[in-house]
């Protein structure tokens, strides 16, 4: 099959979260299973800064690089839209012209296919930034023979981000006003791009089985539950895999000492290295907790904030890496001042430090309120760092009492109780190695998930 991946961030070119990991790894897993795949993404300023990867110019507005054996990643360039800092926004918030930026990207992605004469069986779109592709395909491009019979799949990586814009901006899309209705792109008098993607695509997927059910409910659907319920025959969930060529403590280039199941005691050297790097006391026998995350309420920071004082008084240490909401920056900065020997706070995006945290900590905190799939817990399992999670979405599908700690009532007291329990187990010389063994044995490689996608690409829409 010929498949086009359309995603607004792709590892190793540009990343703000898990979408980039998926869009960089799944195409290669599909290629390994005999599929012909290309990827199309915006040519951000960040892309030009990626070293060690050659880029080849196709014309004045498109260049490409190769990942895997021969997966071409095409960059849609436009100085006005993409030659700036921040993929979606900067310190002042979202870029004000995001609607124009991503509608340009969507149209140019479709134009590119014709230009390079790549007629795919399936265009696989990801998140709202590529949500207009199924819309344009079924409207603006529907009379063009080249685009006939191309099917679309839309994958929701997080339904909380929908691409909402004021109705005044609608003319910028170049679509007829008849598409601004409750059944199409209109959402409480605003434009909702994600909704357009869901309505116009042939198939809808999300990144875990549990989340695919959750988003059909009022609690998790962010207002789009009725659309998803209506299309439930076309909705399915496929768990994300993990790219073990990037995330494996046995080969990881960023960590102080490589280790595997057989040499897991070397993990201690990574702990010491992390404590040094984070200027924490070199305590090897007290548990070191880690967080690598966007600092957002979704990630459970409201629970952590509620009891952070009590958590800091436990006999433990905590390394946090992330950026996000100002209120959590401020709260955590206050805590660091109060407990400098307990917390290390790193308010930045830092891939190298992320690797060191997965390797050097003992327990990975991820009490997300909702979590479509989650990569942090999959990475930490591989590194023998025990995940502590709330039972939701992909966390519920990948963590259980045999490989981690899981609580099922979203409440600060439950989180605190579970943290205390994890500290008890950490001290248990038999239970702890057993838990770590089972965690490291888990296998979430892409091959299985890629197989499921291939099966689905061939399925008819209902
Ligand atoms: P999200 O909802 O943000 O996509 P995921 O758990 O699916 O959450 O994926 C987050 C990815 O981004 C993981 O690979 C995680 O290690 C990485 N990440 C998040 N914040 C940072 C940061 N501040 N520095 C480095 N990597 C980060």
Domains of the chain, earliest start first: 2-241+447-457 (3.40.50.2000), 264-443 (3.40.50.2000)
167 Cα: distance to centroid of ligand 1 (angstroms): 32
Q: Would you report the helix, strand and coil content of the chain in percent, each value rounded to 5?
A: 40, 20, 40
> In the predicted model, is pLDDT for residue 50 greater than 90?
no
- How would you label 25-57 residue by residue, b for 16+ Cβ within 10 Å and e otherwise? bbbbbbbeeebebbbbbbbbebbeeeeeeebee
Spatial distance between the Cα atoms of 317 and 2, rounded to a whole number of angstroms: 49
CA dihedral 294, 5, 180, 147 (to 10 degrees): 170
**284: closest CA among 258, 260, 266, 308?**
266
DSSP 153-182: EEEES-TT---EEEGGGGGGGT--GGG-ST
Spatial distance between the Cα atoms of 3 and 221, rounded to a whole number of angstroms: 28
76 Cα: distance to centroid of ligand 1 (angstroms): 24
Spatial distance between the Cα atoms of 381 and 175, rounded to a whole number of angstroms: 46
Q: What is the pLDDT of residues 379-423, one digit of tens each?
A: 999 999 999 999 999 999 999 999 999 999 999 999 999 999 999
Q: Is 345 in the pocket of ligand 1 (CB under 6 A)?
A: no
Return the residue whose CA atom lies nearest to atom 12 of ligand 1: 17
- How would you label 392-428 residue by residue, b for 16+ Cβ within 10 Å and e otherwise? bbbbbbbbeeebbbbbeebebeebbebbeebbebbee
374 Cα: distance to centroid of ligand 1 (angstroms): 8
**232: closest CA among 210, 215, 218?**
215
Query: Is beta strand 93-94 parallel, antiparallel or unpaired with respect to 56-59?
Result: unpaired
Q: What is the pLDDT of residues 361-390, one digit of tens each?
A: 999 999 999 999 999 999 999 999 999 999
Q: Is 322 in the pocket of ligand 1 (CB under 6 A)?
A: yes
213 Cα: distance to centroid of ligand 1 (angstroms): 23
- Tokens in use for 139? 């409207």
**293: closest CA among 219, 215, 214, 379?**
379
**Mean pLDDT score, 77-92:** 94
> Whole-number mean pLDDT of the chain?
96
pTM: 0.92
Of all atoms in ligand 1, which is nearest to the CA of residue 19? 4
């Amino acid at each position: 099959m010929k498949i086009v991946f359309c995603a607004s961030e792709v590892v190793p070119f540009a990343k703000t979260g898990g979408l980039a990991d998926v869009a960089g790894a799944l195409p290669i897993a599909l290629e390994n299973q005999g599929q012909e795949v290309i990827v199309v993404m915006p040519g951000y300023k960040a892309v030009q800064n990626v070293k060690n990867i050659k880029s080849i110019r196709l014309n004045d507005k498109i260049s490409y690089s190769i990942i895997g054996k021969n997966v071409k990643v095409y960059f849609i360039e436009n100085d006005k839209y993409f030659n700036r800092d921040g993929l979606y926004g900067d310190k002042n918030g979202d870029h004000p012209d995001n609607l124009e930026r991503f509608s340009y990207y969507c149209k140019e992605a479709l134009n590119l296919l014709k230009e390079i004469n790549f007629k795919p069986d399936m265009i696989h779109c990801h998140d709202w930034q590529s949500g207009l592709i199924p819309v344009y395909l079924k409207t603006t491009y529907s009379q063009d023979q080249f685009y006939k019979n191309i099917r679309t799949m839309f994958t929701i990586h997080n339904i909380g981000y929908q691409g909402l814009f004021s109705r005044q901006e609608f003319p910028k899309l170049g679509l007829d006003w008849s598409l601004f209705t409750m059944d199409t792109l209109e959402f409480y008098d605003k434009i909702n791009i994600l909704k357009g993607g869901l309505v116009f695509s042939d198939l809808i997927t999300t990144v875990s089985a549990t989340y695919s059910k959750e988003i059909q409910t009022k609690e998790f659907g962010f207002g789009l539950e009725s659309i998803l319920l209506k299309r439930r025959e076309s909705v399915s969930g496929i768990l994300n895999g993990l790219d073990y060529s990037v995330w494996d403590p046995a080969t990881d280039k960023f960590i102080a000492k490589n280790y595997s199941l057989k040499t897991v005691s070397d993990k201690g050297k990574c702990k010491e290295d992390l404590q040094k790097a984070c200027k924490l006391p070199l305590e090897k026998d007290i548990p070191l907790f880690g967080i690598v995350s966007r600092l957002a309420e979704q990630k459970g920071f409201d629970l952590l904030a509620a009891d952070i004082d009590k958590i800091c008084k436990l006999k433990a240490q905590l390394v946090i890496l992330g950026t996000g909401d100002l209120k959590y920056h401020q709260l955590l900065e206050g805590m660091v001042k109060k407990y400098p020997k307990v917390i290390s706070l790193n308010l930045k995006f830092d891939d190298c430090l992320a690797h060191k945290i997965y390797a050097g900590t003992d327990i990975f905190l991820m009490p997300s309120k909702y979590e479509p799939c989650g990569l942090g817990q999959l990475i930490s399992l591989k590194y023998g760092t025990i995940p502590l999670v709330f039972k939701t979405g992909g966390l519920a599908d990948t963590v259980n009492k045999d490989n981690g700690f899981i609580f099922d009532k979203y409440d600060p007291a439950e989180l605190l109780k579970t943290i205390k329990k994890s500290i008890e187990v950490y001290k248990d010389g038999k239970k702890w190695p057993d838990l770590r063994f089972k965690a490291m044995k888990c296998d979430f490689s892409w091959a299985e998930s890629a197989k499921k996608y291939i099966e689905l690409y061939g399925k008819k829409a209902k």
